[in-house]
Amino acid sequence: YKDTENDLWEYKSNKQYEVEANEFAAELLMPTNIFLKISKKEKFSLKFIQELKELFDTSITATAIRFAEKGNDPILLVCSQNNIVRWYAKNSGFPFSQINVHEEVPFNTVAYEYFVKNRIYNNPEQIDPKDWQISDRFYGQLKYYEQCVYFDYYGYVLSFIWIDK
């Protein structure tokens, strides 16, 4: 059995057995030690996430979650559906952010542009970290980018937000 992209809506489920099953599956399919070794070889990019997806034979969403939680680069992954934030994942290297789950996608974000203006960006867009409520003591010194993967069929978007050092 293989989860579909849509099945991962339960990623941040309140059902403990679903959370444990997702964690077990991630470790089984993308073992942390192997994943870390490979992910240290290259900086974040959607191309690299796609390569990891192919290597581990996992969905883009599962691979993105694993990279956000265990990857080498500080990254924030936000999943939105129909202009509502559903869940997010990040690693400890990413600055503090207050993502409001079950609320509308913040104004001025790439995801917002998609949901409200039907605008699709194919390349990373430099963003103001304040738009995603990211608290960074180095404001103005670091560049933040957002790039989305769009799943029109399911009505959701994965927003990758990262820092270019």
| Strand blocks (E) in the chain | 75-81, 84-90, 125-127, 143-151, 156-164
Q: Are 163 and 105 in contact (CB under 8 A)?
A: no
Q: What is the pLDDT of residue 12?
A: 56
Q: What is the pLDDT of residue 21?
A: 77
At what angle are helices 60-70 and 16-29 packed, to 10 degrees? 90
Q: Are 75 and 92 in contact (CB under 8 A)?
A: no
Q: For the full predicted model, state whether its pTM sits above 0.75.
A: yes
Which residues in the chain land under pLDDT 70?
1-19, 138-139, 165
